[in-house]
Amino acid sequence: MKTNRVLLKLSGEALAGPKKMGFDEDTVKEVARQVKLSIDAGVQVGIVIGGGNFWRGRTSNAIDRTKADQIGMLATVMNCIYVSEIFRNAGMETEIFTPFACGAMTALFSKDKANKGFEEGRVVFFAGGTGHPYFSTDTGIALRAIEMDADCILLAKSIDGVYDSDPKINPDAKRYNTITIQEVIDRQLAVVDLTASIMCMEHRMPMAVFDLNEKDGIANAMQGKINGTMVTV
Ligand code: UDP
């Protein structure tokens, strides 16, 4: 698999570590160490982070979904600011783009500016999802990966690949080494949400699923060595 330019998705929960809420500094520092290895090796790295460690739009029935989703999008911005700062402390240069204006905190997304960031060796954060309610950071990463001509999407998860059934429930669950996006959709396997899956299928964007907590899993994935599942187009 080619990995000249990759987009890495981290879930909000992954940032929270064992605490499940907020940030776990040690977890993020370890991600930073591995991303730096890849940046130093010349890989162009984009990052998309979820918001589940703070808020999900569907968390509340008490408020309007559009407003709840706005809170969720802002949670992803907070996550990107935090992770970007940890990355800077680890010696990397970073840039955060959002699809809506956030004053001095982020830059408004533009393909040209993001390309410049990649080419100049900065880690490019795509915060704020798509900027629209009723979407997710899965759709956000699919959109940006396609738009920025990334080679693939890397999904660092709390599970080491895609299984034919939930291994927590079924001890005989089998892990796929490779699977097509069409099969993922047909079998309703949890890789990314349906909207994101369809976008990746339509635009031929491969994905790789691996365990966030595997030693050097991110650094290896960024060199094309996937110990997990390749989702092919
Ligand atoms: N969100 C949104 N539009 C986007 C991206 C995210 O409205 O383009 C909101 C939505 O409320 C979501 C929350 O931000 O629940 C956090 O994003 P994430 O993808 O982590 O949500 P999840 O898929 O876990 O609900």
| CATH code for the domain of 32 | 3.40.1160.10
Q: Which atom of ligand 1 is nearest the CA belonging to 57?
A: 11
How much of the chain exceeds pLDDT 90, in percent? 93
Report whether residue 137 contacts ligand 1, using a CB cutoff of 6 Å.
Answer: yes
- Calculate the alpha carbon distances from 41 to 4, 117, 138 in Å: 10, 16, 27
Query: In which band, very low, low, confident or very high, does the pLDDT at 19 lie, cut at 50, 70 and 90?
Result: confident
Q: Which atom of ligand 1 is nearest the CA belonging to 137?
A: 19
pLDDT digits (tens, 9 = 90+) for 46-104: 999 999 999 998 888 899 999 999 999 999 999 999 999 999 999 999 999 999 999 99
Of all protein residues, whose CA lies closest to atom 3 belonging to ligand 1?
A: 135
Q: ipTM score of the complex? A: 0.97
Side-chain-side CA neighbours of 33 within 13 Å: the count stands at 9
Range of the domain at 220: 5-231
Task: State the pTM of this model.
Answer: 0.96
CA of 134 from ligand 1 middle (Å) equals 8
Q: Six-digit token pair at 202?
A: 């339509």
Report whether residue 17 contacts ligand 1, using a CB cutoff of 6 Å.
Answer: no
In the chain, the number of structural domains is 1
Report whether residue 73 contacts ligand 1, using a CB cutoff of 6 Å.
Answer: yes
The reported pLDDT for the residue numbered 18 is: 84
